[in-house]
Structure 1
Amino acid sequence: MGTNIGTSVTNTLVAMTQAGDRSTFRRAFAGATVHDFFNWLSVLVLLPLEVASGYLYVVTELIIESFNIQSGEAPDLLNVITDVLTEAIIQLDESVIGGIATGDPEARNKSMIKKWCQTYTNTVRRAVG
C-alpha cells in the first residue's frame, strides 16, 4: 500500500516535467491521474479490509507456509508462472550460450535459439462454383 501511494506521487512529478509542451503535458498528466486513481482506490479498499479483518496477513501467511521455504532459500515464484509460457514461445540452446561464455570459437557461429514460435497466416478459402 505504501508503494501505491509512493507511485502516485512519483508519476505525478514525472508528468509535471512535461509542462513545456501543453499537448504532451495534458496526456502525461491524464495518464498519471488515471494511475493515481487506481493506486488510491486500491489503498482505500485494501487498508480498511486489512485493519478490520487481517485478511491480507492471513492469506500471505498461508501462501508462504505452502512453499515450505527453508531458511535463506528464495522460491522461484515467477519461474513457475512464466516457464510454461516462455517455453511455448522460445527455447534457447544452453550449450551454445555456455560455449560463447567460455570463448569457444565454434559456438559463435551457432544459433542460440533451439525453438521459436511459429507464425501462421490466416487464409480464407472460398468455394468456387
Structure 2
Amino acid sequence: MFNWLSVAILLPLEVQFGILYKISEGFLGLFNVSPNDSADIDFLDAITKPITSHIVQIDKSAITDIALNQTDGEDVTLLMRCEDGETGSTCNHIFAYSDLSDAAVGGILLLFSLLILTTCLLLLVRMLQWILQGQRTMKLVRKALNANFPGVFSFLTGYFAILVVLF
C-alpha cells in the first residue's frame, strides 16, 4: 500500500514540478559533488562509514587470503586486530583489542542492532499514536474517509474508495 501510494503521489509531482530532481540536486550540493554520469559515489557508505569504522573494521587481506585458499588451515579472523600499545587508524574501533572470536563479535553486533531496530520501531509507533489520538486529528480523518466528490463526479466516490482499499 505504501509503495503504491508513494508512486501515486510522487510521480505526478515529479512530472509536473521536478521535486525529486531538485531534492537530489540539493543532496549533491551537500556532498560537494557535481552531477556527472561517470561519478561512482556510494552515498550510504559516505554517511555510515564514519560511524561504522569506529564500531568494527574488517581485515580485507584476510578475505583475499580465504578467497585464494592461502590460509594453510590456520584460524583466520576477519576482524582487524591490534596488539596492546599499537595505535593508528586501524586500531580505533571497539573490538580492536578484544580477544573475542568473530562469531562472538557478530553475535554482539546482531543483538545490538536488533535492540536499536526494535527501540526505533516502538518509538515510531508511540509517536504515531500520540499524533493520531487528538480530537482534531480524528475529525480530519473522519472528514477524509467520509468525503464525497463534488457535483457531477459524486458517483465516482464509491469507486475511488474501492481503488484505495485494493491498493
Which band: TM-score by shorter chain? Answer: 0.3 to 0.5
TM-score normalised by length of structure 2: 0.37
The structure having more radius of gyration, on CA atoms, is 2
- Greater strand content: 1
TM-score normalised by length of structure 1: 0.44
